[in-house]
Amino acid sequence: MEDLNTVRTLITVGGALASVAGAWWLMRYQIGELKKEDEKQSSALTAIGKKMDKAHTELNLLEQKQSVIGGMMKPEAVAEHHKEMTGMQKDIYYLRRDVDELRTK
């Protein structure tokens, strides 16, 4: 009877050890899978961060361009450009007239 109890105890301990070993293997496998998933997520977040940095840089560039164009399109600036163009057109007219006079001489 004592041998039977020893065998039962050994089977029970063996079953418990097998269960613990199986749980340990399963835990180790799941940790490995979680590490892989974490690496994928980290890579994805890094890629998203780079895209956001690029978009932010492009946005800053567009804001600068808009500011420059806005400054050029202010009514005061447009009026000043028109005055300059009018002056240049007058200068071109007089230069052409002078050239024509020199050619005819």
Write phi, then psi, for 73 (nearest 5 degrees).
-95, 5
pLDDT at residue 89 in the model? 96
Question: What is the rounded average pLDDT for all residues in the chain?
Answer: 92
**pTM of the predicted protein model:** 0.50
Number of H helices, E strands in the chain: 2, 0
Distance between terminal CA atoms of the chain? 143
Joined tokens for residue 71 = 């400054």
Q: 41-90: per-residue pLDDT in tens?
A: 999 999 999 999 999 999 999 999 999 998 888 888 888 889 999 999 99
pLDDT at residue 5 in the model? 83
Q: Which residue has the tokens 């399963």?
A: 26
For the CA atoms of 46, 49, 51, 53, what is the dihedral angle to 10 degrees?
-140
b/e burial code for range 14-52 (CB count within 10 A of at least 16 → b): eeeeeeeeeeeeeeeeeeeeeeeeeeeeeeeeeeeeeee
* 2 pLDDT higher than 80: no
